[in-house]
């Protein structure tokens, strides 16, 4: 796994400097088959997926070379996503995004749906170093009163401080909540809550903690990440 903060545009070795030819950004959906697959295993799945697709992934140097695959932001276990991002470094400058998309779609991997592939400048900062916020949709498994949820959301947003505990450390949840929006139930979905939460280094909001702060059981909700926000 790559170390956040380095874009790896080139590397030096005994044979001289080897240029990495291409960096591509893959937007993908994480679906039900991978709901309970953790981030380290997702990294390994991408390694297998790219190898099976025949794509020439670049490797790090050293005694234990690793495929250069950079995920934007860890996704909590049990969450699905409509907007995961991964940067892949390839040793072939003749490939184009359409070529990569076709290679990945020939043999799709269960639980990964490719939404888009684009080429990215090699000198651009890493995804992980640019994340500022994430957006989630929390949908209740059983019906709840949307008006009651809206009332609780209003009260929470007007609370100056929300002291919580995480890993035996106290913290204030309130400044980590950037926006909350109640989504009433319809014919296809139960009541939901759209949340935009801070995702900066040392200041990351977790949607299940917001649900708990609203007075609901976090395990009564399904979570879907819908967007990742970045600095320019």
Digit-coded pLDDT (tens) for 128-137: 999 999 999 9
Classify domain 10-119 by CATH number: 3.30.70.580
| Strand-pair partners of 86 | 26, 71
Q: What is the pTM for the complete model shown? A: 0.88
Over residues 199-228, mean pLDDT:
96
| Residue 21 CB coordination number (10 Å) | 15
**What architecture (CATH level 2) is domain 131-230?**
2-Layer Sandwich (3.30)
Q: Regarding predicted confidence, which is higher, 3 or 87?
A: 87
Q: What percent of the chain has pLDDT over 70?
A: 91
Say which residues have a Cβ less than 8 Å from residue 43's Cβ, sequence separation at least 6: 1, 69, 71
| Residue 145 CB coordination number (10 Å) | 11
Could you tell me the residue ranges of all domains in the chain? 10-119, 131-230
DSSP annotation of 108: P
Nearest Cα residue to 128 out of 2, 4, 3: 4
pLDDT of 106 reads: 93
Are 84 and 28 a contacting pair, CB within 8 Å? yes
Over residues 100-104, mean pLDDT:
96
**Could you give the CA distance from residue 114 to residue 107 in angstroms, rounded to a whole number?**
11
pLDDT of 20 reads: 60
Nearest Cα residue to 135 out of 205, 221, 64: 205
């Amino acid at each position: 796994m790559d170390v956040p903060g380095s874009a790896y545009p080139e590397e030096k070795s005994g044979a001289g400097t080897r240029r990495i030819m291409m960096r591509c950004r893959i937007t993908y959906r994480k679906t039900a088959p991978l709901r309970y697959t953790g981030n380290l295993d997702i990294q390994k799945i991408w390694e297998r997926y790219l190898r099976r697709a025949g794509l020439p992934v670049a490797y790090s140097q050293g005694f234990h070379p690793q495929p250069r695959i950079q995920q934007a932001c860890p996704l909590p276990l049990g969450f699905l996503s409509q907007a995961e991002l991964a940067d892949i470094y390839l040793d072939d400058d003749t490939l184009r995004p359409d070529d990569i998309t076709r290679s990945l779609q020939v043999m799709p991997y269960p639980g990964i749906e490719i939404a888009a592939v684009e080429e990215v400048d090699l000198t651009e900062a890493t995804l992980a170093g640019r994340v500022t916020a994430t957006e989630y949709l929390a949908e209740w498994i059983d019906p709840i009163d949307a008006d009651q949820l809206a009332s609780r959301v209003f009260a929470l947003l007007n609370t100056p401080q929300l002291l919580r505990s995480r890993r035996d450390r106290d913290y204030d949840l309130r400044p980590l909540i950037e926006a909350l929006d109640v989504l009433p139930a319809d014919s296809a979905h139960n009541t939901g809550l759209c949340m935009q939460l801070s995702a900066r280094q040392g200041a990351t909001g977790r949607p299940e903690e917001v649900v708990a702060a609203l007075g609901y059981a976090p395990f009564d909700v399904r979570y879907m990440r819908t967007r990742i926000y970045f600095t320019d």
